[in-house]
Chains A and B, each alone.
Chain A
């Protein structure tokens, strides 16, 4: 974040920035950054997606910077466990519920009081659902609004339908375990096709981005993902498949909820957001044309606008 405001006296007021390692009950250290004044009337907490890092919110953070600098809000971003700078705790295997508890730990340490608006992208959205399921008392009193971006309440995997899918299902855990055990070798292979490579970018664009995404957006996302470890790819994949929070969505119905999804999102297709909107009476659904699974980068303006609508 890089913004200054000129105060009434004409002196420049710099924006406060602190870095924290939030310790979870099982010993993970979550890298969190806080921008803005502790006295701000509301705190926005953003949770990123699978194999990404808090840097995936940089564009949104840049658009919120004037509000932060003006003291209108405080912004908390953190790296989910096993992502970015955050470490793994002792819990194995990991689950989305665990990420919900991690978010609870971040709130307890960095936002112990005052209104909160939560924003979650993809797995970060699921993290918020898990928090609401485990700590319904937080919703309404503390959490005043929720933005769910390119995410899902469950049914991301289905039972194998063909012989090939059955073989895949059987082999995947072993392949994943092998990759983690031989992470150094796998990392070597990954370096052979770095995110600067056109083929690498083409794959990333094909899976994650919509038709309107610029090459710069794709390059940036590819770089962030290239920073993720083999283990975070492998360990969270089954957690995403097991994620099922359809029953917990009602808990979010007491606060305004903004739901956004790209119309060509391949990972959490539009129907997932449709199901969310149907289950949450207070939800407002926005389907963004020409976009894929990376709305915080593809349309940071719309994501920021949605967050602003949620501010009390």
Chain B
């Protein structure tokens, strides 16, 4: 480098201690943890132009959380002012932006920075991170890229020929006016059952294309009262107690889903009664009654899904889509439905995390390639061959019954412990071992055996192409927290700076 360069070239590489990918609950939680540990030399790489992650991108009408806000929020940043017990997307997005402001994290962000490649430089012990907003070099890489990040598009013949608007729920086009249109919604998962009731009253007609019906239970949602809010504000302990009660109540579901499936019978009864109360039409009732045990796929909560699909301008189509034509959708029974707009409520790439294709480890193979035989990790957080890499919301960290934020906080604390150990021991690298991964894989397999996700008689995005549970934590979430409370140092190999220096000398 010569002295004639006055400004850093656009290709200048920025050196940081820690690079965090994504600024949803995971990325922000990690950033706050770093701050607390006195690590200020970090950057959050965010492909969007604001914080919020999944809760920024999923702005489709009706988007809301299935977990009460008192539980679906950071434990250290309670919000006494949630307007409803279950929040909708705008409130959660606002909460995350508020957290970013309160902890003064925005300056640590680089927005518009989509990570295109992250490669381990084994000689320098650094991660080379290429983004759409420049290159970075970090000692430690934390991926908070999330599982519900990249939309999954269905492979339907002719869909590219469709002349009307096609939009995925996670990429909603708010400028597109649906009023009076004939709308096709593909999918009946968590997004569909929220978006359909929101758009049904204003569209001309809506056809919901269903592959497998979900089990749906009532949504105990209500506006919070001014009394509650002032109580929470003045006595934070009350809100903590409510949070603890909500947490405990939800953990009971684990007993049914993972321990003893017969305990799910009352929940299934509740769902069946809900369905029979809200759907009078016998044909529709038959079409939307699941044939698998409740909990096998994610249990959905809604009070307006069944009324929406029972509405005069709605129909549920079970025949299976044969093809999409420029102005219609044709099903396998030979029926053609003229269609103006196609809404894809088809979910995300969950079992094949897209970020895994972009992270390359010591042996030059990507995480996805390393995982082609199955996702192996230690505690869902670290991978052998990928030193100084930590995954948040990685494999087997997902939960269907309670708040992801609880799992994220567990993992963030675990990463914090690892960073502390690195600092204390003066480590240049910290890397888990294949033996630790194998032990953890066995633990997951053993805990998954006999659960409703494997034995409930359904296929779901919880399972990978081999039918293995690679997404869900198959036990009580407090067990995961205990497992990640401190660093299992025996499962890691560390190299010190001095050894490194000696090795290269």
Contact = CB atoms under 8 A, between A and B. Distances in A.
Nearest to B317: A17
B335 A224 contact: no
Interface stretch (A42-50, A82-90, A124-132, A294-302): A82-90
B182 interface: yes
Interface stretch (A112-120, A139-147, A226-234, A262-270): A226-234
A55 B315 CA distance: 13
Interface in B286-317: 310-315
Interface size bracket, B side: 20 to 34
Contacts, number: 74
Interface string A14-31: 111111110000000111
B218 to A, nearest CB: 15
A30 B311 CA distance: 10
B312 A21 contact: yes
B276 A191 contact: yes
Contact of B282 (A19, A191, A223): A223
B335 A20 contact: no
By Cβ-Cβ distance, the 5 closest A-B pairs, closest first, are A4-B334, A31-B312, A21-B313, A14-B336, A21-B312
B281 A84 contact: yes
A162 interface: no
Contacts of A21: 204-205, 311-313
Interface of B: 182, 204-205, 207, 276-277, 280-283, 310-315, 319, 328, 330-331, 333-338
Given A18-B182, A31-B313, A228 B280 contact: yes
Contacts of A18: 182, 205, 337-338
B281 A2 contact: no
B312 A17 contact: no
Contact of A224 (B207, B282, B310, B315): B282
A20 B313 contact: yes
B205 A20 contact: yes
A220 B319 CA distance: 21
A303 interface: no
B338 A226 contact: no
Nearest to A188: B277
B337 A85 contact: no
A20 B203 CA distance: 10
Contacts of B315: 19, 33
Give the interface centre of A3, A15, A19 by most chain B CB atoms within 10 Å: A19
A112 B328 CA distance: 23
Contacts of B310: 85
A20 B313 CA distance: 5
Interface string A205-248: 00000000000000000011011110000000000000000000
25 contacts: A2-B319, A2-B333, A2-B335, A15-B334, A15-B335, A16-B337, A17-B337, A18-B337, A19-B314, A20-B313, A21-B204, A21-B205, A21-B311, A29-B313, A31-B311, A33-B315, A55-B282, A79-B312, A85-B312, A86-B312, A187-B277, A195-B282, A223-B282, A226-B282, A229-B280
Contacts of B205: 18-21
Interface residues of A, number: 34
Give the interface centre of B182, B311, B331 by most chain A CB atoms within 10 Å: B311
Given A19-B314, A85-B312, A86-B312, A12 B334 contact: yes
B249 to A, nearest CB: 27
A87 B310 CA distance: 11
A149 interface: no
A5 B484 CA distance: 62
Contacts of B335: 1-2, 14-17
A18 B328 CA distance: 11
B334 A2 contact: yes
A87 B312 contact: yes
Contacts of B330: 14
Contacts of B328: 16
Contacts of A29: 311-313
A53 interface: yes
Contacts of B276: 191
Nearest to A17: B335
Contact of A30 (B277, B312, B314, B337): B312
